[in-house]
Structure 1
Amino acid sequence: MFPTAQETDRAWYTLCLLDRLQQALKRREVFAPHSDTYRDPRAELLQGDVWQAARDDLARALGRSLDARVELDGLALELHAAYQEAQTSIPGNAAITVVQQDGEAHLVLSPLEAQAEPPELQVLRQEVALRLPPVELSTLLLEVHALCGFAGAFTHLTEGRTPARDLPLSICAVLLAQACNIGLKAVARSDVPALTLPRLSWVQQNYVRAEGLTAANACLVAAQDDLPLARGWGGGEVASADGLRFVVPVRTISAGWNRKYFGAQRGVTYYNFTSDQFTGFHGIVIPGTLRDSLFILSGLLEQQTRLEPQEIMADTHGSSDVIFGLFGLLGYRFSPRLADLGDQRFWRVEKDADYGVLNDFSRHVVNLRLIAEQWEDMLRLAGSLKLGTVKATAVMRTLQRGGSLSGLGRAVAELGRIEKTLYLLNYVQDETYRRRILVQLNRGEGRHSVARAVFHGRKGELRQRYREGMEDQLGALGLVVNAVVLWNTRYMQAALDDLKRGGAKVRNEDVARLSPLLYEHVNMLGRYDFTLPDELAGGAMRPLRTPDSLEDYLAQIP
């Protein structure tokens, strides 16, 4: 028997109802229309007449046909050709081994061997590093501002206020205090009006916020892109995404638990995106360590620099079938580094096709019918993401909710299985491709090392209680790291020119393997002196250091 209304405990009933409501909100079964986190992202997709008016132009912009059959036929042919090529090349590939485990065949891919560094590269790296002049981080920021004017991107909240005197000096001091995690008192000076503690506190509250950080960072990224040396490292079309973890020892709802990264404490992940020019062009603060694939598209769609990355690399935890599908729909290339090839599934379109040695790995068949049924809605989703009417993170949460809210999520995943298989077949065959992924991911990890060195105060722990404060402080950290990268690149170019004038042979292939992620010559500790000589403020450069002669180094090469 069910309890009657009189037998029902109202308090317990209410508690159970609220618990079920909370679970339904998290599973995206119920939505809160006015909530940023829990509203239905499908309501923000292009709808009705708006979609009908834009569908042709968006399809052309995405490079997709409105006819699902045309698209699927093309993908089927591409996948079949990739299998045909792979089945002939894999048997003779020494890096690939086929093993039997629990009655099933698995591909095992040998790890990449470390790429040997020629003696000439080692000498060049030493010579360049020794020529970089020592610099205080405080004056480095002022010097970079003199070069590109990034501090001018910060505006007052009212935007109608007359700029304060020596405002760039105050802004650089606030950015340094936040990036180094040392607080304003460490950079304040009572004898300099622009650096008094009340002035710095006022600037921090009224000028240094998300909009200014984004605009200033775009200025630094553009200045780096203008340097010939940076263009030699990459054109900005390739990027990587990875998370930098911070323990948060204060009480806050914006941090999460993860024993692997934070021990018994809570923390956040600063998920940031690094271009092939070593600059960071976007960052997202994530409570705890939520799955990276929820956020990986945001770096491409929401970043506001002039770079236009078309390919992004990530670790295994950033990949999923849905991500591959959305990347394919949007015309991007997704290139994750796989930790274990044996866990990956290869998918096929033609059930009875013979792919030789790959038959044992490709037993799963893609559901083309589901893709065809949902094709227009998939294009509508991609178009809405491209135009920014819906956020990528909101869409990802919805589509990956233990399946999907409708057939749309499954259809995107089915398309992703085709894209993922094309990627896998290329990944296992092409060592150059795998090494290119590794090189770009190492650039992101190198930026993390610089960021850790800069963020040295308070044991490297983030002590902001609110998400906005975390975003502003970590945004300042990314900005300062970009300033270091820009400063280093500029002086590395001068060092290379100096070596060439001295008669040293500088090979382009060695220059391409240099990195501006150096910080041993940058002083981030002690008293911070914000004075910049007039000649440096006018655009002149510091004199390079004069190391021991190049001949002494050449003599050490075996």
Structure 2
Amino acid sequence: MSIRFLTEEQQQSYGRYVGDPTPVQLARYFHLDDTARQLVNKRRGDHNRLGFAIQLCTVRFLGTFLTNPIDVPQVVIADLAAQLDITNKNCLPRYLERPTTHWEHAQAIKLHYAYRDFSEQPFHWRLVRWLYERAWVSDESPSILFDLTTARLVENKILLPGVSVLVRLISSVRERVAKRLWLLLSKLPNAEQTNQLEALLFVNEKMRPTLLEQLRRSPTRTSSSALVNALNRLVTIRSLGIRQLPVAKIPPTQLKALSRTALTVRAQAIARMPSSRRLATLVAFAYVMEAIATDDALDVLELLVKDLLSCSAREGKKERLRTLKDLDAAALQLSQVGRVLLDPNCDDEKVREKVWRLLTKDQLTKAVTQVEELARPPDHNYYQELLGRWRQARCFLPTLLLTIEFLANKAGQPILAAWRFLQSIEGQTKPDMKAAPLQVVSKSWGRWVVLSDGRIDRRAYTFCVLEQLVEGLRRRDLFVSPSERWSNPQAKLLQGRAWESARSHVCRALNLNPTPVEELNVLRQQLDEAYSRTANNLPNNAAVRIEVTKGRETLTISNLDKLEEPDSYLLLKQQVESLLPHVDLPEVLLEIQVKTGFMDEFIHINESFARVRDLSTSICAVLIASACNIGLTPLVRPDLPALTRSRLTWVEQNYIRPETLVRANARLVDTQAQIPLAQNWGGGEVASADGLRFVVPVRTLNAGPNSKYFGQGRGITYYNFTSDQFTGFHGLVVPGTLRDSLVVLVGLLEQQTSLQPKELMTDTSGYSDVVFGLFWLLGYQFSPRLADVGEARFWRLDTNADYGVLDKLARQWVKTHLIEQNWDDLLRVAGSLKLGTVSAQEIMRALQLGKKPSTLAKAIGELGRVAKTLYLLNYVDDEAYRRRILTQLNRGEGRHSLSRAIFYGRRGEVRQRYREGQEEQLSALGLVVNVLVLWNTYYMNTALNHLRLQGTLVKAEDIARLSPLAYSHINMLGRYHFNLPSELLDGGMRPLRDLNDFPETWGETPCM
């Protein structure tokens, strides 16, 4: 394991003062209580008293004694001198005249306050055991373990050792953990399984790629054959039998971390590993890969069933348009017969005679037959066309029935029963369909499944079950195991003893009462106050009026007028922008690397120290290749070692990963938060979320259609979260244009920066009652921009309250009994989300998808209606609040404009085939956007200071309107060279390319 994982900044700050302590730190670590004063006052002379106090507070704060005990910030000296009533602080240098005094004072402090040396037993052994257990159960980076260990040493009054001692200890412990993991995993498979795993790395004459590379390759097409291939891939992985091995004692995080090596590193590199590590890596790969392969197969199934339904609908509509002329002609003929019947002057005896004069019997029979054949009932769903695709369904159905075993909750039991019936009749030419469970058959399918003579049509029944199966999977009424994306979210919630022990902690962390009565009383009071305040202010609120529409009162809010930009702001903006230097994009990244060291977060995937000269230059080039969407070719320089193709490819494969991108981005966000200018824009407690759309022209499962954004093609949405300091602190890729409400919570719960946003602003698409309810439970404020408040419903808790002019608007009553009856489950969901046992996207999908919400979803929705009404009343009453929401959303839109400018290559289209590759590329884009935002903020802050020094009046309200999203001064298009090599000036020819030197193709390398 590497012992060089700390940055130079971390090494320099270890055991030393880095800047002045904050007022909170001064109060906590540097306050002298009565005991400390007694110890201090035993020393003779002000210099000894002050020096002793400094050493005492230093060891409290840093966990160690300094070589130069008075090398501390002046604020510390001033604070302690004031506490000791020492007016002459210049006496402190005398403390250095007698070096033995420092040592004697340090020993006295150690003795009195029970500080221990790092090597003292049994404390050292306990520390090593704690560190080992921490490294075993988690996948934390060595730098995080270093910080945690330092904090633990300080907390337990163990003096910090030298930085190299602690680094070597962490490295040795992590090495022991890795070797133990390799040893345990390598012993699990038997001889036959070992041979099968080793065979994954071999290349034979029939298969050019290794079997490992084939298994890593996810499906990219939506077809019957693609689904069969995906299922066969799952069968191959299952045949290894790794899931049957006893791996329960090994933490899942370790298995996932080890499997990442096999999912990304070339098979040849794995083959060169020591035997125990190689076999352990393959075991972890096979274990994790079974869940991945299951998810991929179900992804194909979902899209395939969706395509079958949509294609049948399109064919039905085309056929209907084609026969519309014949239908019209027959209908017109029948209309003539109808007019005869309706004619009051025509006797009943003469009706037939008059009809036959208009139409012959054959013509009338033909018209009736034609109408019956071509006309469609009002509830027609084009199922007849779907039945014509029976042969396509039979291509994959036998394999699907045999391979996937579904599980179900109570709501999904009818679908599961129908699916098991299909499994029981598979292979039978003429099965007995009388025993088919019909609970799954919907009303629209009824006339197709159950024929007029009572028989059950096998084809219609099968398609009905397939449609309901996919719908049940989306609602998570059906699920599979093992799986990540299609598993049962309910099983991941805190349960049993785990929930009983965590309940009180969750209630304290979320500031919620364990019983619902008190919370409802508080909400009732808040709601009454909000209604009263809004009603009282309504006569003076010119932007809001009550209108009567269709006999119902509704609210109408006028659009916000554009704020005029004062001349002082326009002048300041022009001055600041004119001071920003012109710079090339690579220089921006390298300069921010010098200032923040964010590229140091990119470590080699094997976790061994693999650093080369000018690594930051190579990482910079790879980031630009991804963020600008231009690939590596434009950045290759054969004459520069850091920019050769082999170096860039090596860096791209081994250093650029989702986890390293997240850590690097967190460092940028944390740095931005410390700049005074950014603090003028906001404190990081407010954020917005919005989606950035990209067309994906290659075949992929992770894309969806939307003609508004993607035309005739398919695309993805990069849903990203922007802080009020203009930084993007999280992002995720969703196929197509998935509802924002399904992912809106993810950024707040899963982001890894120091920001703690409490309020999230979105467009209307992110809104739902369930979202409001979950936000309230988790202690967040949800603030969507509402396109039409008049369509929103206002709810009440007090049925007898009179809200004046708003009383008729509050027409709906919240069902408090649902909240009360399910309160413990509401707390359990919130606690599980907060503690990370279940992902926000899984819970949101389970709660919001489906036409029949569960009781839990209804209870959360009822709670959300209260929170939504409180928000609506504030939104209606406060124009400044509405404008603040608009301002924050505009910041997110501004980041999108900057992202588009950076992502200029290949027409701004994402050409990665796999979801992981798309997330990696767009995360790199978000990282580069944050680099530009941070660079602009640095220089804008410097420009403002420059203007102040020149005597320019800078108003705080003008500073708040500045934006670091300008990019006209940054060159992103690269530089072109116009110097020919000398051999070409003499009429020579360039050397031909090597046949093996192919340029990279985005999206062709399979990645999981």
- Provide TM-score, normalisation by structure 1: 0.92
Secondary structure of 1:335 counterpart: strand
Q: Which residue of 2 aligns with 1:41?
A: 489
CA distance, structure 2, for counterparts of residue 341 and residue 162 of structure 1 = 57
| Gapped regions of structure 2 (runs ≥ 5) | 1-431, 437-454, 978-1008
CA distance, structure 2, for counterparts of residue 157 and residue 401 of structure 1 = 38
Return the match for 1:20 from 465, 468, 489: 468
CA distance, structure 1, for counterparts of residue 527 and residue 976 of structure 2 = 59
The answer to whether the aligner puts 1:464 opposite 2:912 as a matched pair is: yes
Q: Deviations over 1:15-34 (max 9, x none)?
A: 65444322321232211132
Secondary structure of 1:38 counterpart: coil
Matched residues, percent identical?
A: 57
Q: Which residue of 2 aligns with 1:506?
A: 954
1:331-410 correspondence runs (5 A) = 331-402=779-850, 406-410=854-858
Q: Deviations over 1:479-507 (max 9, x none)?
A: 00000000000001111111112221111
Deviation, 1:403, is 5.7
Q: Which residue of 2 aligns with 1:186?
A: 634
Q: Which residue of 2 aligns with 1:70?
A: 518
Equivalent pair of 1:187/1:527 in contact (CA under 8 Å): no
CA distance, structure 2, for counterparts of residue 9 and residue 116 of structure 1 = 69
Equivalent pair of 1:255/1:266 in contact (CA under 8 Å): yes
The answer to whether the aligner puts 1:250 opposite 2:698 as a matched pair is: yes
Deviation, 1:528, is 8.1
CA distance, structure 2, for counterparts of residue 19 and residue 357 of structure 1 = 49
Deviation, 1:77, is 1.1
Q: Deviations over 1:401-450 (max 9, x none)?
A: 23665311100000000000000000001011111111111110010010
1:473-552 correspondence runs (5 A) = 473-527=921-975
Equivalent pair of 2:761/2:885 in contact (CA under 8 Å): yes
Secondary structure of 2:479 counterpart: coil
CA distance, structure 1, for counterparts of residue 666 and residue 845 of structure 2 = 28
Query: Which one-letter code corresponds to 1:274 in the other structure?
Result: T
Q: Which residue of 2 aligns with 1:217?
A: 665
Equivalent pair of 2:433/2:458 in contact (CA under 8 Å): no
The answer to whether the aligner puts 1:154 opposite 2:641 as a matched pair is: no
Equivalent pair of 1:348/1:366 in contact (CA under 8 Å): yes
The range that moved more, 18-27 or 471-480, is: 18-27
Query: Which one-letter code corresponds to 1:87 in the other structure?
Result: A
Return the match for 2:477 from 20, 29, 47: 29
Secondary structure of 2:545 counterpart: strand
1:130-145 correspondence runs (5 A) = 130-145=578-593
Describe the shift of the 1:177–1:422 C-alpha distance in structure 2 as closer, same or farther (beyond 3 A): same
Q: Which residue of 2 aligns with 1:278?
A: 726
Secondary structure of 2:808 counterpart: helix
Structure richer in strand, relative to its length? 1
Return the match for 1:263 from 711, 722, 725: 711
- Provide TM-score, normalisation by structure 2: 0.51
Return the match for 2:532 from 75, 84, 91: 84
Equivalent pair of 2:474/2:846 in contact (CA under 8 Å): no
CA distance, structure 2, for counterparts of residue 189 and residue 328 of structure 1 = 54
Deviation, 1:379, is 0.5
CA distance, structure 2, for counterparts of residue 19 and residue 101 of structure 1 = 40
Equivalent pair of 1:45/1:384 in contact (CA under 8 Å): yes
Return the match for 1:325 from 773, 780, 794: 773
Please tell me the root mean square deviation across aligned C-alpha atoms, in Å: 1.7
The answer to whether the aligner puts 1:420 opposite 2:840 as a matched pair is: no
Structure richer in helix, relative to its length? 2
CA distance, structure 1, for counterparts of residue 533 and residue 895 of structure 2 = 38
Equivalent pair of 2:766/2:784 in contact (CA under 8 Å): yes
Structure 1 segments of 4+ aligned residues over 6 angstroms from their partners: 5-13
Q: Which residue of 1 aligns with 2:407?
A: none
Secondary structure of 1:269 counterpart: strand
Q: Which residue of 1 aligns with 2:625?
A: 177
Q: Deviations over 1:157-197 (max 9, x none)?
A: 10114212221111110001100001100111111101111
Equivalent pair of 2:705/2:713 in contact (CA under 8 Å): yes
Deviation, 1:5, is 8.2
CA distance, structure 2, for counterparts of residue 484 and residue 164 of structure 1 = 26
Deviation, 1:93, is 1.1
Equivalent pair of 2:474/2:845 in contact (CA under 8 Å): no
Q: Which residue of 2 aligns with 1:315?
A: 763
Return the match for 1:293 from 727, 741, 746: 741
Describe the shift of the 1:8–1:76 C-alpha distance in structure 2 as closer, same or farther (beyond 3 A): closer
The range that moved more, 19-28 or 519-528, is: 19-28
CA distance, structure 2, for counterparts of residue 27 and residue 309 of structure 1 = 30
Q: Deviations over 1:285-308 (max 9, x none)?
A: 010001001101000000000100
Q: Which residue of 1 aligns with 2:883?
A: 435
Q: Deviations over 1:195-237 (max 9, x none)?
A: 1111111111111010000000001001111111111111111
Equivalent pair of 2:739/2:766 in contact (CA under 8 Å): yes
CA distance, structure 2, for counterparts of residue 502 and residue 294 of structure 1 = 51
Equivalent pair of 1:403/1:410 in contact (CA under 8 Å): no
Secondary structure of 2:821 counterpart: helix
Query: Which one-letter code corresponds to 1:190 in the other structure?
Result: P
CA distance, structure 2, for counterparts of residue 117 and residue 388 of structure 1 = 45
Secondary structure of 2:693 counterpart: strand
Equivalent pair of 2:693/2:716 in contact (CA under 8 Å): yes
CA distance, structure 1, for counterparts of residue 778 and residue 815 of structure 2 = 20
CA distance, structure 1, for counterparts of residue 852 and residue 683 of structure 2 = 37
Q: Which has the higher contact order (CA 8 A, sep 6+)?
A: 1
Q: Deviations over 1:105-147 (max 9, x none)?
A: 1110011111111101000000000110000001110000011
CA distance, structure 2, for counterparts of residue 383 and residue 505 of structure 1 = 50
CA distance, structure 1, for counterparts of residue 684 and residue 561 of structure 2 = 27
CA distance, structure 2, for counterparts of residue 97 and residue 268 of structure 1 = 40
Deviation, 1:525, is 0.6
Describe the shift of the 1:262–1:128 C-alpha distance in structure 2 as closer, same or farther (beyond 3 A): same
CA distance, structure 2, for counterparts of residue 517 and residue 486 of structure 1 = 10
Query: Which one-letter code corresponds to 2:722 in the other structure?
Result: T
Deviation, 1:469, is 0.6
CA distance, structure 2, for counterparts of residue 356 and residue 4 of structure 1 = 62
Query: Which one-letter code corresponds to 1:44 in the other structure?
Result: K
CA distance, structure 2, for counterparts of residue 59 and residue 147 of structure 1 = 41
Equivalent pair of 1:29/1:405 in contact (CA under 8 Å): no
CA distance, structure 1, for counterparts of residue 507 and residue 946 of structure 2 = 51
Return the match for 2:555 from 107, 114, 117: 107
Query: Which one-letter code corresponds to 1:110 in the other structure?
Result: S
Query: Which one-letter code corresponds to 2:754 in the other structure?
Result: R
CA distance, structure 1, for counterparts of residue 694 and residue 947 of structure 2 = 40
Q: Which residue of 1 aligns with 2:170?
A: none
Secondary structure of 2:756 counterpart: coil
CA distance, structure 2, for counterparts of residue 528 and residue 8 of structure 1 = 71
Describe the shift of the 1:190–1:39 C-alpha distance in structure 2 as closer, same or farther (beyond 3 A): same
Secondary structure of 1:360 counterpart: coil
